[in-house]
Amino acid sequence: MLIETEKHVQLFVHDIGEGTPVVFLHGWPANNDMFEYQRNLLPAEGVRYIGVDMRGYGKSDKPWDGYDYDTMADDVKAVIDKLGVSDAVLLGFSMGGAIAIRYMARHNGHGISKLVLAGAAAPIFTQRDDYPYGLTKEEVNDIIANTYKDRPAMIDEFGGMFFNKKHSEPFQQWFASLALQAGGHSTIKSAVALRDEDLRGDLDKISVPTVIFHGKKDQICPFEFAGEMNKGISNSRIVPFEESGHGSFYDEREKFTEELLQFVKS
């Protein structure tokens, strides 16, 4: 279905199943289809899967503006309000995890009773003088420059950092195809947000039970991110994924789904 979040901006939302609603926010630069291997199973377990293609990605509209965390968090609120969702679990992966944190802080956790941060690009994606973790701003600038120059090649290189385990070539091609559905300008402007935004002041505004899924071998959002989020979110715990890179949802998909179901039903 399409949900209008502001004038001339509609987001595609995949809403399937009945039961406890779990709202999935995907990572950069993919779309909600990255959760296909969870979506295949969760509705049979009493979970209502609500997958949002954020503005600029997948089947959603691709406006020129609005790729900052505040606007994308406002988009999430519009979806939750339109669907009348309450007592939902919000799951944010990578950039989606950053947007989920901003949503919880900016909208006081409206409609959300539990939070899952999976490989979240938070509290900051890039290094600062007082934050030594993650990519440098210069490295993100290179990604942006390569997106202007040859986006498919950038996606191929970035995809090579995504998983720890070796997956089939058809799977890798399919995963890259998700990123190619995004707008080029959307990919660039979201990378700017990832480079520049800082969520450290948002963490202590989260009061709901929170679980942090994070791959021990993550090359994109290092495992130290999980510790920083855990320190800042009072009611949180870490579930490490020992064999996973950034993409724990597929590197250890059985554990990912099992841990998610356990948290949803607890």
Is residue 160 packed enough to be buried (19+ CB in 10 Å), middle (13-18) or exposed (0-12)? exposed
Of the residues 26, 33, 53, 94, only one is catalytic, namely: 94
| Phi, psi at 177, each rounded to 5° | -65, -30
Residues 6+ apart with CB under 8 A from 177: none
Using the structure block, give the residue that is written with the tokens 């490490």: 240
User: Are the CB atoms for 115 and 235 separated by under 8 Å?
Assistant: no
Q: State yes or no: is 74 an active-site residue.
A: no
pLDDT at 183: 98
Going along the chain from its start, the domains and CATH numbers come out as 2-265 (3.40.50.1820)
Question: How much is the pLDDT for 34?
Answer: 98
Let me know if 177 is a catalytic residue.
no
Residue 49: the pLDDT is 98
Give this prediction's pTM: 0.97
Per DSSP, the residues of 17-56 read -SSEEEEEE--TT--GGGGHHHHTTGGGGTEEEEEE--TT
Active-site residue, from 26, 218, 248, 251? 218
Which pLDDT value is given to residue 61? 98
Can 94 be counted among the known catalytic residues?
A: yes
pLDDT score for 188: 98
Of the residues 14, 61, 246, 248, which is catalytic?
246
Ordered mean pLDDT values, 10 residues apiece, the chain (266 residues): 94 97 98 97 97 98 98 98 97 98 98 98 97 97 98 95 96 96 98 98 98 98 98 97 98 98 96
